[in-house]
Chain A
Amino acid sequence: MKNRMSKGLILGAMLGASAQAMAAVPESDEPIKLAVNEWTGQHISTHVAGEILKTMGYNVEYVTAGYYPQMQAMEDNTVSATLEIWSSNIGEHYDNALASGKVVEIGDLGLEPVESWYFNAAAKEKCPGLPSYEALKGCAEVFANAETFPQGRLVDYPADWGTTNVDRLKGFELDFTSAPAGSEGALIAEIQGAEARQEPLLVMFWQPHWVHAVVDLELVELPPYEDGCNEDASVGVNPNATWDCDWQRGYIKKMAWKGMQDKWPAAYKMLQAYTLENGDQIPMMNQIDKEGGKLETVVAEWIASNEAKWKPWVESATQ
């Protein structure tokens, strides 16, 4: 520790003020704790960032943390940063964390989430007009089950994620019922169950997600999002209803403990600069969930072959 410090001082003196920060990296040997939540995509986003931080000389610890509880943990550096917060399902916890004054938002991750209606191969067979949403109008009974008959069934997001599908189904004049799934596990069990039974399925789902690596799901073509279509009946395809267009795309944020700026300034800057795109995450997700690869090896490979992408973040952070 002492040795490194003195070396840094000498280097700093030699290279001038701009290099001083770099020379001091890592500012502290205390581990930076990155939150690991419950899904593969997040594991990838977190481990990529963590491994980059390690190349900078930081100590990194991956802490398992619940999606909501981690917000509490970031207030006192029990978790230093979390890198994949979806605007669609974090709810009030996001605002509450910012309001505490101890947690800050550090920019978009860069993943582009698509949340909309998907259908499976069996649905395409029984309702050949798909992917156009208009085809659903004549296909309600294809998607019906005992609980919804004669209406079709749209397997929906859990009620606590907040969903607008009841309004949307009305807006598109579809004779469908929204059946909230209750959890991500239930959504996936529905998707896999329908696949095993070769049954048509219409489901509210999102991308990037590992299940696309295992099951063929196609997007329903909805009329594109227009500003005002959720509030103003005259906007959108149905002149008499609101919610008659596709979703406005959401965003994915990175967040950190406020004290990070002072404790590990370079790491903080690196995480601010850090982005991961669909094109990066999805192939890694496939390698893990489809081909059975290990998270650590998959991430290490990405790090090794994508230096051009992440080296600039490190450089900008240490300048």
Chain B
Amino acid sequence: MSGDALNQAQTRSWLPWVIVIAISAVLIAIRNDVSWLNKPPAEILPIAEWVNVYMDWFVDTFKAAFRKLNWLLNWPMGWAQQFLQWLPWPVTMTGFGLLAWLAAGWRLTLFTVLALFYMVVTGYWVESMNTLGIVLVSMPLAIVSGFFIAVMAYKSPRVNGFVQPVLDLMQTIPTFAYLIPILLLFGFGPVVGVVASAIYACPPMVRNTILGLQKVAPEALESGLMSGASRFQLFWQVRVPSALSSIMMGVNQTTMATLAMVIIAAIIGGSADIGWEVLSKMRKAQFGQSLIAGIVIALIAMMLDRISWGFTDRSRAIARAHLPFMQRYTPWFIATIIGVVLFWLAKLVPALSVWPEQLEFYPAEPINNALNYVTGTYAHVTDAIKKSVLFFYLLPLKVGLTKAISPFSWGITFEPWMRLAFAGIVALIAAGYLVMGKWRRAVAAVVVGAFLYYGITSMPWPVIILVVTLLAWQIGGVKVAALSFFGWLFMLLSGIWPQAMLSVYLCLSAVLVCLVVGGGLGIWASQNTRVSNFIRPINDALQTIPPFVILIPFLMFFQIGEFTSFLAIIAYAIVPCIRYTEHGLKSVPEHIVEAARSMGTTKRQLLWEVKMPLAIPEIMLGLNQTIMFALAMLVITALVGSKGLGQSVYIALSSADAGKGLVAGLGMALIAIIADRILQAWSERRKMALGMV
């Protein structure tokens, strides 16, 4: 570790911490006497109103242009939907089967055919094809625009500097926050959903593409240059192929995100798609029905993702290219013949064009009954789980041990000697670190101790601003510190501070769990192919089945409130942690692993001392995405009664107040961006310390 060199950096001194801790101690001591410390003013600057004024102007000026765009996008979508409706289902199945075979062989073909057959027998064919029509427009839109934005950002640092924060905003400002403005701009209809999902889905594509392009080894470029490649060739034939694994990660995540947004498109309405079905069932809290419909969305996502993934593996195409003409096109011939035969057969056999209702397979009732049974039978178990997590983990983070410990919750009163003991333990740990010369850990112990004792939501607001900004300054320098300071200031002045703190607490508590559990699962999956194969479809399903579907059983077990919200955030936000950890560990170059092995490292050493440090950039990207996803879930958890910024967005939506919605959305985005910048800066430092840069 070359940490000493870093210690000398002027920004990283312990003195400011002593000052901040002293000020904080004073503020905490007097917080009950000075009311504005605990209760920040409601609204100092009418930011929401300013936004509304600007928005009115913007909508009036550009409405006509956006309405034209709506009209334009409606065509390809209408065509796709009508074409898919017109084709008898066995023919569509044959077509996708062929695609799957070309992409990855018979296994994927089998999966694709079965997935489509599921849509037939559950009676959701029409809705599924409407959804596919929407996705076939919005997914390419997100992928292609994402790729080109990434290329521009990669080529110009200035563009990159502009693009990065915009990406964060696109991913973190919830769609509901700008639903009113885009409805006003685009008018009503499914295109609004397409636009909204493209906005939300394109950032992972951009990020991964940039990351991939940056990681291309200089040796590869040099050998390209030496073989006389033009700039164009160098880019398309050296850089892009080398970055392909990262780019495909982006395609994968963008596909998933597009499908995740199907439900938003449905909220606007305008086409009878599968999202609408899920929405109607969710509104009735019919778990069986909404699960059956939600699985359709997950299946479409997996199908599209696997097929696109398969096509990037060029080995199949190359192998085929060497076959004689007849053999090369055999699958095409067979598929065409099957397709044509089925098409005409469908005119004779009605079941092949419209699946008869009597043959539908719709096991909603048994699922609902099972859920009811479990809810009723295991009430004491679910209750015990809820109570222990709530009392021993969530409450201390929220209101601090000082309020969390009560005879009702912990079964004891928080006696003065216990308080002293707690303070003593924290002081002891801090002193221990100081003696060892690790002042940073000592400071961390004091800060964490204080937050545990008083709780995030009860901390006077200047303490939060001071601590986070100082942290940002020491890790990331002046820029990150300024971002943190003005970000928190915005939340304070626009009057959303209390909601923001509730959101911070809820997301933080969930992200910590994601990091530990998700990271662990990711490591396991990277070591074990079976685990990896087992986890992958679950991850896909978690990310693409509309989250509220999973929420229904949680609601039945645990009732509305924070615990259910906490679980919901974990269920959704844990996925990137697992994925990126696995991906990062697996993409450590083989020659390094070989070299380490030949030096006689144990498996453990190989993982923790070779692979792990090299995988840090990917893992940090995963953590970044986890935080983004957690914040994105706030809008969903507001539907099960969590308070905070998510709730503010809905309140703004119901009062048609675009400004208020955007301010709350921006608040979420700022929290995400501040967290991200601090993490990124930290990861850079780690990399530098390890000599990776």
Residue numbers of A with Cβ under 8 A of B are: 35, 38-40, 63-66, 68-70, 72-73, 76, 78-79, 89, 91-93, 96, 145-147, 149-150, 155, 158-162, 179-186, 188-190, 192-193, 195-199, 210, 289
B78 vs chain A, min Cβ distance (A):
14
Kindly state whether residue B268 has any CB partner on chain A within 8 Å.
Answer: yes
Given contacts A78-B189, A91-B656, A196-B376, contact A160 B651 (CB under 8 A): yes
Give 26 CB contacts A-B under 8 Å: A38-B279, A64-B266, A68-B179, A68-B654, A69-B188, A69-B268, A70-B188, A72-B188, A73-B188, A73-B189, A93-B654, A93-B656, A146-B387, A147-B561, A159-B647, A179-B641, A180-B641, A182-B640, A182-B641, A185-B282, A185-B285, A185-B639, A189-B285, A197-B375, A197-B376, A199-B379
Point out the residues of chain A lying under 8 angstroms from B541, CB to CB: none
Q: Which residues of B sit under 8 angstroms from A96, Cβ to Cβ?
A: 656
Chain A residues with CB below 8 A from B258, complex form: none
Answer whether residue B408 sits at the interface, using C-beta atoms and an 8 A cutoff: yes
- Residue in contact with A185 in the complex, picked from B267, B373, B548, CB distance below 8 Å: B548
B638 an interface residue at 8 Å Cβ cutoff?
yes
**New A-B contacts (5) at CB < 8 Å, excluding given A64-B276, A182-B638:** A39-B284, A150-B408, A188-B284, A188-B285, A190-B555
In chain B, what residue has the closest Cβ to A292? B365
Give chain A residues whose Cβ lies under 8 Å from the Cβ of B563. Answer: 147
Once the chains bind, are B285 and A181 in contact (CB under 8 Å)? Answer: no
Q: State which size class the interface on B falls in.
A: 35 or more
In B347-405, the 8 Å CB interface with A consists of 371-373, 375-376, 379, 383, 386-387, 390-391
List residues of chain B with CB within 8 A of the CB of A182. Answer: 560, 637-642, 647
> Looking across the interface, which residue of chain A has its beta carbon closest to that of B271?
A64
Q: How far is the CB of B94 from chain A (nearest CB, A)?
A: 30
CA of A38 to CA of B272 in the docked complex: distance in angstroms? Answer: 12
Judge if B270 is at the interface, Cβ distance under 8 Å.
yes
CA distance A96 to B563 in the complex (A): 37
Contact, CB under 8 Å: B641 / A181: yes
Q: What is the CB-to-nearest-CB distance from A198 to chain B, in angstroms, rounded to a whole number?
A: 7
Of the candidates A72, A188, A210, which one forms a contact with B183 in the assembled complex, judged by CB atoms under 8 Å apart?
A72
Inter-chain contacts of B656 with A (CB < 8 A): 68, 91-93, 96
Residues of chain B within 8 A (CB-CB) of A183 are 283, 548, 639-640
Chain A residues with CB below 8 A from B657, complex form = 92
Instruction: Tell me, yes or no, whether B559 is within 8 Å of chain A by CB.
Output: yes
In the bound complex, CA of A155 to CA of B641 (Å)? 10
Q: Top 9 closest A-B pairs, CB basis?
A: A73-B188, A189-B555, A65-B269, A188-B285, A160-B650, A196-B375, A193-B556, A183-B639, A160-B654
Q: Is the CB of B269 within 8 A of A186?
A: no
CA distance A259 to B527 in the complex (A): 66
Residues of the A chain whose Cβ atoms lie less than 8 Å from the Cβ of B279: 38
Q: How far is the CA of A182 from the CA of B640 in the complex (A)?
A: 5
- CA of A162 to CA of B188, assembled, Å: 26
Chain B 254-296, CB-CB to A under 8 Å as 1, else 0, gives 0000000000001111111000100110111100000000000
The reply on B557 being an interface residue by CB < 8 A is: yes
CB proximity of B205 to chain A, nearest CB, Å? 27
Interfacial chain A residues near B555, Cβ < 8 Å: 185-186, 189-190, 193
Minimum C-beta distance from B344 to chain A (A): 31
- A197 engages B647 (CB within 8 Å): no
> Could you tell me if A147 and B562 are in contact, using CB atoms closer than 8 angstroms?
yes
In the bound complex, residues from chain B placing their C-beta under 8 Å from that of A289 are: 284
Residue with the greatest number of chain B CB neighbours at <10 A, chosen from A38, A145, A179, A186: A186
Q: Is the CB of A193 within 8 A of B557?
A: yes
Q: Closest approach, in angstroms, between the C-beta of A84 and any C-beta of chain B?
A: 14
B647 to A160, Cβ gap below 8 A?
yes
Task: Provide the residues of chain B in CB contact with A150, threshold 8 Å.
Answer: 408
Candidates B179, B187, B373; contact of A78 at CB < 8 Å: B187
Chain A residues within 8 Å of B2, by CB: none
> With the chains together, A270 CA to B650 CA distance in Å?
35
Cβ contacts under 8 Å, B280 to chain A: 38-39
User: How far is the CB of B563 from the nearest CB of chain A, in Å?
Assistant: 8
Report whether B187 and A91 are in contact in the complex, using a CB–CB cutoff of 8 Å: no
Whether B650 pairs with A159 at a CB distance below 8 angstroms is yes
A233 vs B654: C-alpha distance when bound (angstroms): 30
The distance from the CB of B270 to the nearest CB of chain A, in whole angstroms, is 7
Residues from chain B with a CB closer than 8 A to the CB of A161 are: 654
**A-facing residues in B646-681 (Cβ within 8 Å):** 647, 650-651, 653-657
- A186 contacts which of B271, B560, B655 (Cβ < 8 Å)? B560
Contact status of A192 and B285, CB under 8 A, knowing A182-B638, A183-B639: yes
Task: Give the CA-CA distance A158 to B391 in the complex, in Å.
Answer: 25
Report chain A residues within 8 Å CB of B653.
68, 160
- Determine the distance from Cα of A159 to Cα of B637 in the docked complex, in whole angstroms: 13
User: Residue B552 at the A interface, CB < 8 A?
Assistant: yes
Whole-angstrom distance between the alpha carbons of A76 and B555 in the complex? 39
For the complex, give the distance between the alpha carbons of A183 and B546 in Å: 15
Flag whether B184 is at the interface (Cβ < 8 A): yes
Q: Is the CB of A196 within 8 A of B556?
A: yes
Are A89 and B654 touching (Cβ within 8 A)? yes
Known: A65-B269, A147-B390, A210-B284. A190 touches B188 (CB 8 A): no
In the assembly, what is the distance between CA of A193 and CA of B653, in Å?
28
Contacts of B383 in A (CB 8 A): 146
Partner of B560, one of A63, A72, A155, A160: A155
Closest chain B CB from A31 CB (angstroms): 14
Q: How far is the CB of B18 from chain A (nearest CB, A)?
A: 39
Question: Once bound together, how far apart are the Cα atoms of A146 and B650, in whole Å?
Answer: 26
Cα(A73)–Cα(B268), bound, Å: 10
The interface residues of chain B lying within 8 Å CB-to-CB of A155 are 560
Residues of A within 8 A of B639 (CB): 158, 182-183, 185-186
List the B side residues contacting A186 at CB < 8 Å. 285, 551, 555, 560, 639-641
The interface residues of chain B lying within 8 Å CB-to-CB of A197 are: 375-376, 379
Q: Using Cβ atoms and an 8 Å threshold, which residues of chain B touch A193?
A: 375, 555-557, 559
Contacts of A89 in B (CB 8 A): 654
Chain B nearest CB, measured from A20 CB (Å): 34
Q: Given A160-B654, A185-B548, A146 and B386 touching (CB < 8 A)?
A: yes
Complex partner residue of A181 from B192, B376, B556, B640, CB under 8 angstroms? B640
Q: Chain A's nearest CB lies how many Å from the CB of B652?
A: 8
For the complex, give the distance between the alpha carbons of A69 and B284 in Å.
Answer: 20
- Bound: A91/B561 CA distance, A: 24
